Amino acid sequence: MGDFYLCFSVEEKEKPQKATSGEIVGYDFGLSTILTATDNRDIHSPEYLQKDLVGLKKLSRLFSKKRKGSNNWKKARKNLARLHIAIANRRKDRFFKLAHTLSSRYKLMSFEDLDMKKMAKLWGRKVLDHAFSEFLSILKHVSKGYDTVLHFCDRYFPSSKTCCLCDWYNKDLQLKDLVWTCQGCKTKLDRNRSACFNILRAGASAHGLGDIRPHPEAVSVGIQESHLL
C-alpha cells in the first residue's frame, strides 16, 4: 500500500491594526460646508471655483452672442472649451491632493452613501459643482495605497434625524432645520455636526471599533470649543 501525503500551506496574515480615535473621521455632506467632520477639520468649497464660474458665465455670454459658424464664434467656442477643461483639471488636482492628505491622516473614514442624482434634483447645480462623486472615486483609488478603510453608511440611514447623543429620532426634521433640540436629552444640536458623528459611529461599529459617542459639547450649539470623542 502506498503512502499518502497531505500538504498544507498556511499563510499567517498580520491582523490589521485597529484605528485609534484620532485616526477615524465621520463626514456629513452639505451645501455650505461640503463635508462637516467629526474632528472639526471641515472641508469647504475652494473660492477659485466660484471665480471660475464667473469667468464661465462671461465666456458663455460672449459665445452666445457670436454668429453661428463665424470665425469669432469658433474662437469663442474654443475659449469656452479651454476654460471648462482648466476648471476640470484644477478640481481634479485639488481632489487628488485632498485625497492624499486625508488618506495619510486617517485609517477609517465614514461617509453617507448619497444618491447624487436625487440630491441634484433637490438642491440644483451646486451639488454638481461640488463634484462629490468624482472626489469619492479619487479617494477610493488613493486610499488603497495608504490602507485607509472607507465606510459608506446605508443610503437610508437617518444620520440627520437621529440625535447622536441619545438616539432620539426627530421625524419632523426638515432640510432647512440647521439647528434642532433633541426631545430625548434636550440638547440643542448642530444638525450637520450631530449627523457626522452618527456616520462616524456607524462606520466605527461596522469595523469593530465599538460604540463611539461624542462629548455633548462637541455637537451642542452655542459652545465654540469642541471636545472630541
**Which of 34, 59, 182, 195 is in the footprint of Zn ion by CB under 5 A?**
182
Cβ burial, residue 224 (10 Å; 0-12/13-18/19+): exposed
Cβ burial, residue 201 (10 Å; 0-12/13-18/19+): buried
Find the shortest distance in angstroms from Cβ 197 to Zn ion: 11
Find the shortest distance in angstroms from Cβ 161 to Zn ion: 12
Nearer to Zn ion by Cβ, of 53 and 185: the residue is 185
Nearer to Zn ion by Cβ, of 75 and 186: the residue is 186
**Which of 81, 122, 175, 185 is in the footprint of Zn ion by CB under 5 A?**
185
Nearer to Zn ion by Cβ, of 185 and 228: the residue is 185
Task: 191-194: list long-range contacts, CB under 8 Å, 24+ apart.
Answer: 191/160, 192/28, 192/30, 192/33, 192/36, 192/160, 193/28, 193/36, 193/218, 193/219, 194/160, 194/162, 194/163, 194/164, 194/165, 194/219
Find the shortest distance in angstroms from Cβ 140 to Zn ion: 33
Nearer to Zn ion by Cβ, of 23 and 217: the residue is 217
Query: 3-state DSSP call for residue 213?
Result: coil
Residue numbers 139-178 binding Zn ion by CB under 5 A: 163, 165-166, 168
Nearer to Zn ion by Cβ, of 149 and 165: the residue is 165
The packing angle between helices 71-105 and 132-144, to 10°, is 50
Q: Which stretch binds Zn ion (CB under 5 A): 50-58, 108-116, 126-134, 182-190?
A: 182-190
Find the shortest distance in angstroms from Cβ 35 to Zn ion: 23
Q: Is residue 218 at the binding interface for Zn ion, with CB under 5 A as the rule?
A: no
Nearer to Zn ion by Cβ, of 102 and 165: the residue is 165
The sheet that has 33-37: what strands, in order across it? Answer: 43-44, 33-37, 24-29, 108-112, 149-153
**Which of 46, 55, 158, 184 is in the footprint of Zn ion by CB under 5 A?**
184
Find the shortest distance in angstroms from Cβ 167 to Zn ion: 7
Q: Which residues contact 38 (CB under 8 A, 6 or more apart)?
A: 24, 25, 26, 27, 196, 197, 200, 214, 218, 228, 229
Binding site for Zn ion (CB under 5 A): 163, 165-166, 168, 182, 184-185
